[in-house]
């Protein structure tokens, strides 16, 4: 069912039918009604490819998947894509998902993507501290939004959670439990989120009057093995930490393992706090105390915000900072001492 056939059927020209369907004001109410009714009756729907070519609007946005280096499935993309897809489909727009083969090729890939006309906007995730992709998009004045932030994030749109504050909360909590030697299990700091969380850790130590011990900071992969190895190293030192803060729940789970392997019990001898609020943490041994961040609506939010920007909104008006909350389960507790042990 093409526009041409519909027009013939209605004894109108294609242009008129098109304008009637698109609610142009220069079509009488009568014929507009007639056209729209017949179109519905005959099941006419404009060919999106033709419309996109004619209007120059791609009617689609791309989600750039974070490269999952550790070959670990990212637990959030599914939820995020659901929300994004919903936001877009209400407009009849498409959601494209891309992933570059390597991080080096990403800027090039992105450049090709935005110059190809296939998409009207882009959502970027897990940015680096200085992200070439963000600079590229800014220079091209191409609509985009970032899930997360880079160092300079004043001039573009983003949706993020204040993980610096979150880590501060975690550290403060541990300090309030008496911990002074707190290990930090981090990730490579070219990821901005990793840097920010490290900053949060340092700040928290500072305002709690605790001297920073560089030996207590470990940078490792974002998975359980990374956490286990890093925590193990710290625990085997002469003066091991009594608590750990991790940038990620999966790491934290590895930390739990490292602790148990050494005959200690997490939450008693050594505390650990994760980050993400994975449901799964309810079932670790012991259940994982963690910082939970709202994940459900992020996709939806990102989609709506990006669409507003594509509609001409000022990116600076679309910066949303959520906060994470401490979820106490069982992996945190007061500093363990032999004396306290003896008493109980």
Partner DNA sequence: ATTGCATCCGAAAGCGCTTTCGGTGTAAGT
Partner DNA sequence: ACTTACACCGAAAGCGCTTTCGGATGCAAT
Nearer to DNA, 24 or 190 (CB): 24
* Minimum distance from residue 13 beta carbon to DNA (Å): 4
Nearer to a copy of itself, 103 or 217 (CB): 103
* Minimum distance from residue 8 beta carbon to DNA (Å): 11
Show the tokens assigned to 89.
């489909």
Stretch that binds DNA, among 10-18, 95-103, 207-215, 221-229 (CB under 7 A): 10-18
The interface mask with DNA, positions 71-100, x = CB under 7 A, is ------------------------------
Nearer to a copy of itself, 109 or 132 (CB): 109
- Partner touching 112 among DNA, a copy of itself, none, CB below 5 to 8 Å by kind: a copy of itself
* Minimum distance from residue 34 beta carbon to DNA (Å): 8
Residues lying near a copy of itself in the complex (CB under 8 A) are found at 45, 47-50, 52-53, 58, 63, 65, 68, 71-79, 81-82, 85-86, 89, 94-99, 101, 112, 115-118, 223-224, 253-254, 256-257, 279-280, 282-285, 295-296
**30/77 Cα distance (integer angstroms):** 48
Label residue 11 exposed, middle or buried (CB < 10 Å: 0-12, 13-18, 19+).
exposed
**Residue among 215, 103, 196, 113 nearest 153 (CA):** 196
Decide: is 114 part of the binding site for DNA (CB under 7 A).
Answer: no
Label residue 342 exposed, middle or buried (CB < 10 Å: 0-12, 13-18, 19+).
exposed
**Residue among 109, 317, 178 nearest 96 (CA):** 109
The residue within the footprint of DNA, chosen from 23, 29, 73, 238 (CB under 7 A), is 29
Show the tokens assigned to 310.
């594509």
Show the tokens assigned to 66.
């974070």
- Partner touching 65 among a copy of itself, DNA, none, CB below 5 to 8 Å by kind: a copy of itself
* Minimum distance from residue 250 beta carbon to a copy of itself (Å): 8
**Residue among 97, 87, 4, 8 nearest 50 (CA):** 4
**31/18 Cα distance (integer angstroms):** 12
Beta bridge pairs of residue 157: 145
Q: What is the DSSP letter of 281?
A: G
**169/171 Cα distance (integer angstroms):** 6
Decide: is 54 part of the binding site for DNA (CB under 7 A).
Answer: yes
Q: φ, ψ for residue 333 (rounded to 5)? A: -170, 175
Decide: is 139 part of the binding site for DNA (CB under 7 A).
Answer: no
Residues forming the site for DNA (CB under 7 A) = 1-4, 11-16, 18-22, 24, 26-32, 44, 46-47, 50-51, 53-56
């Amino acid at each position: 069912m093409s526009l041409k056939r519909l027009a013939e059927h209605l004894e109108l020209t294609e242009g008129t039918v098109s304008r009637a369907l698109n609610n142009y004001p220069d079509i009488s109410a009568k014929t507009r009604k007639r056209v729209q009714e017949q179109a519905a009756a005959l099941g006419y729907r404009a060919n999106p490819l033709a419309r996109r070519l004619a209007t120059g609007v791609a009617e689609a946005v791309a989600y750039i998947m974070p490269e999952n280096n550790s070959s670990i499935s990212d637990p959030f993309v599914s939820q995020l894509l659901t929300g994004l897809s919903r936001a877009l489909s209400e407009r009849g727009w498409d959601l494209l998902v891309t992933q570059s083969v390597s991080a080096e090729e990403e800027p090039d890939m992105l450049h090709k993507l935005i110059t190809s006309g296939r998409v009207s906007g882009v959502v970027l995730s897990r940015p680096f501290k200085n992200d070439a992709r963000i600079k590229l998009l800014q220079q091209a004045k191409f609509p985009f939004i970032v899930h997360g932030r880079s160092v300079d994030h004043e001039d573009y749109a983003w949706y993020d959670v204040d993980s610096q504050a979150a880590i501060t909360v975690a550290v403060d909590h541990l300090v309030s439990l008496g911990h002074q030697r707190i290990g930090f299990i981090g990730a490579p700091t070219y990821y901005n989120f990793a840097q920010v969380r490290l900053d949060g850790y340092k700040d928290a130590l500072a305002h709690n009057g605790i001297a920073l011990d560089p030996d207590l900071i470990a940078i490792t992969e974002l998975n359980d093995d990374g956490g286990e190895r890093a925590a193990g190293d710290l625990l085997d030192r002469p003066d091991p930490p009594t608590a750990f803060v991790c940038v990620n729940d999966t790491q934290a789970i590895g930390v739990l393992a490292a602790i148990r392997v050494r005959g200690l019990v997490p939450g008693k001898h050594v505390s650990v706090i994760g980050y993400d609020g994975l449901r799964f943490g309810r079932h670790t041994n012991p259940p994982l105390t963690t910082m939970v961040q709202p994940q459900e609506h992020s996709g939806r939010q990102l989609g709506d915000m990006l669409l507003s920007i594509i509609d001409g909104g000022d990116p600076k008006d679309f910066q949303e900072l959520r906060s994470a909350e401490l979820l106490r389960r069982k992996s945190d507790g007061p500093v363990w001492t032999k004396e306290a042990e003896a008493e109980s």
